[in-house]
Structure 1
């Protein structure tokens, strides 16, 4: 039988008995870690092992390790990374590959095998500050080159990338954590720019939806819009596992059961619920049910893309990038 159609957050630094019992019953497809779950390398590695043992399978464990403001692993045990846009514009695709390959080594050493990156949105003059420097370029061609290099760096290091925020968040002038952004651009303009990076990277195994309303296509946020998910599948051509952005964000309305049901009914494969009370998690799990046969097939295909890290000289990549490795003895070095 397939797993539940959810990816859930975890409470703290260790897996307690009560939380383990809940997770065993909920059987989420995957789990996601945040800063609240991160202390030292040995602690994170123990947590990821305990989570998989709890579920009784090699479940995917996700994180947001973009660099800049959005990185859960930080000094002194892990490298500090500049914002993606800064490094993309200064170093280009080679730097983005090297950066992702080193990040993958840090993640894989901890048992984390999915990174919610690269951000494939196009940064513009009006892009909201919460997103702008998390992007990888100012035009579609630059984003495509840098995002592809980033994805390949993660894959070479044994970590699955998640392209986001599909079909494009760059024109949003509101923060979807707090409000529902509304994009009024014409369909032909969106197709020519915003959607193009996702079409170019549509072969990748996983993607995350955008909580944005595109008035040219529908009144509902893309995450909960059958026309938008249909466009993602048919026009953009993405055949991989489509997860929602966090359904706890205020861009969405209604209770968690309603948010979950609407997202899955629109065509998303799995619902991400990062932060919430136990009652909210239970509501989400109950509404989500099990992965559909189509979603289960996509999930299996995505996990089949996990592979052992390819050999690489991490120290040489550090020197090339000009980053400082963690202090000796931190336990976070990996030369896979």
Structure 2
């Protein structure tokens, strides 16, 4: 059956009968979990198996946002509380190698937790810059202000996830750090000149253009396309993401149901895919919205399938079985290394 270039959420901790029928009929590429879907380890493993069973693919990707800090769908006491990204930037400012090691171990620990549940894609790390005066939607989710430091910490985080068999998703390409508003609720507009963006916001992504997956930013860059947000802009995707940044991995749009985007969700999915996104993401699990998106999405392109398979190969190649040194991580975080 032809793959649909979509990733969908589901409504609750168990898969409903209507959802099962819908997923079997539409065959989305994969699924995404949120806190509403996560209660216990056994429950999550059962839900993941049911989601994959609904499409008849044991390797259908299952995503989650498990960055650490305030963006974590899996929380204590059942799961480890990982620090926010800026903690690693702070350590790296004092001791570069210690910061990189801590970021790598932390992501490996996250990846180990996810892999144990059957979750194989983490929507992390954030490569956006933490810039003064910007909205705090990014804030401590960023590794720091300097693109080179953000990139090297981001690479360490990606390596840690891959070592656990989990695919990283770098976000929010080509950069959300300058947003003066939260794209969950309104469309940010960035008026910074293109040359400055290329030297700063876009640079961390350029330095990690070999990563397997990336997620777009819902914001307008007036210097590139004043009329459309990056997710819906052929110009931003072709000239910046695929061109200047040189990213050739699977490009996933950010959640289509976020309030930054206006209009019919089916039309938004069509626009995102036509602009150059490989996959349309919809997170809230509302069936009427998913039906419209699936009807508009069509079939996954050969180029998107190639990029997806490239990521799978990276995932398989990256898996290691070495134990994670949690004591070493604790020492690094205390500054005792």
Q: Does TM, normalized by the shorter one, top 0.5?
A: yes
Give the structure 1 partner of residue 199 of structure 2: 192
Among 168, 172, 175, the residue aligned to 1:168 = 175
Looking at structure 2, the residues matched to 221 and 22 of structure 1 have their Cα atoms a distance apart, in angstroms, of 30
**Cα offset for 1:322?**
5.8
1:228 is matched with 236
Counterpart secondary structure, 1:42: helix
- Which segments of 5 or more consecutive residues in structure 2 lack a partner in the other structure? 93-98
Aligned partners of 2:329 and 2:160: how far apart in 1? 15
Tell me whether 1:27 sits opposite 2:36 in the alignment.
no
2: distance between equivalents of 1:17 and 1:322?
48
Q: Secondary structure, in 3 states, of the residue corresponding to 2:13? A: coil
State the match for 1:312 in structure 2: 322
Deviation at 1:83, TM superposition (A): 1.5
Give the number of equivalent residue pairs.
323
1:2 Cα shift? 3.6
2:261 match: secondary structure? coil
Structure that is richer in helix per residue: 2
Looking at structure 2, the residues matched to 304 and 24 of structure 1 have their Cα atoms a distance apart, in angstroms, of 26
Separation (CA, whole Å) in 2 of partners of 1:273 and 1:214: 23
User: Deviations for 1:101-122, whole angstroms, at most 9, x for unmatched residues?
Assistant: 1000000000000000000001
Q: CA deviation at 1:93?
A: 1.3
2:131 maps to what in 1? 124
Moved over 3 A (4+): none
Partner of 1:77: 78
| 1:305 Cα deviation after fit | 2.2
The residue that corresponds to 2:265 in the other structure is 256
SS at match of 1:100: helix
Contact 1:98 1:321 in 2 (8 A): no
Corresponding position of 2:9:
9
Distance (whole Å) between structure 1 residues aligned to residue 145 and residue 40 of structure 2: 36
* d(CA) in 1 for partners of 2:305, 2:139: 33
Matched, 1:107 2:114: yes
Question: Contact (CA 8 Å) 1:2, 1:296: kept in 2 or not?
Answer: no
Q: Do structure 1's residue 137 and structure 2's residue 144 form an aligned pair?
A: yes
Task: Tell me if the contact between 1:207 and 1:242 (Cα under 8 Å) persists in the aligned partners.
Answer: yes
Work out the CA distance in 1 between the residues paired with 2:258 and 2:87.
27
- 1:12 Cα deviation after fit: 1.0
Aligned match of 1:272:
281
- Residue 208 in structure 1 maps to residue 215 in structure 2: yes
Shift of 1:84: 1.3
What displacement does 1:26 show? 1.7
CA distance in 1, matches of 2:332, 2:196: 38
Superposed CA deviations along residues 139-171 of structure 1, whole A, max 9, x for unmatched, are: 101101110000010001100000000001111
Aligned CA-pair RMSD: 1.5
SS state at 2:137 partner: helix
Q: Which stretch shifts more, 105-114 or 119-128?
A: 119-128
Residue 300 of structure 1 and its aligned partner are, at CA, apart by 1.9
Which residue of the other structure, out of 81, 91, 100, is the alignment partner of 1:93? 100
Deviation at 1:18, TM superposition (A): 2.1
What does residue 67 of structure 2 align with? Answer: 66
Contact persistence 1:65–1:117 (CA under 8 A): yes
Taking structure 1 as the reference length, what is the TM-score of the superposition? 0.93
Q: Which digits, 9 at most, give the CA deviation of each residue in 1:193-244, with x for residues without a partner? A: 1100111100011000000100000021000001100021121100010000
Deviation at 1:86, TM superposition (A): 2.2
Are the aligned partners of 2:273 and 2:297 in contact in 1 as well (CA < 8 Å)?
Answer: yes
Instruction: Report if the CA contact (8 A) 1:206-1:243 is conserved.
Output: yes
Deviations 1:243-294 (A, max 9, x none): 0000101111101011111111111010000015211110011011111121
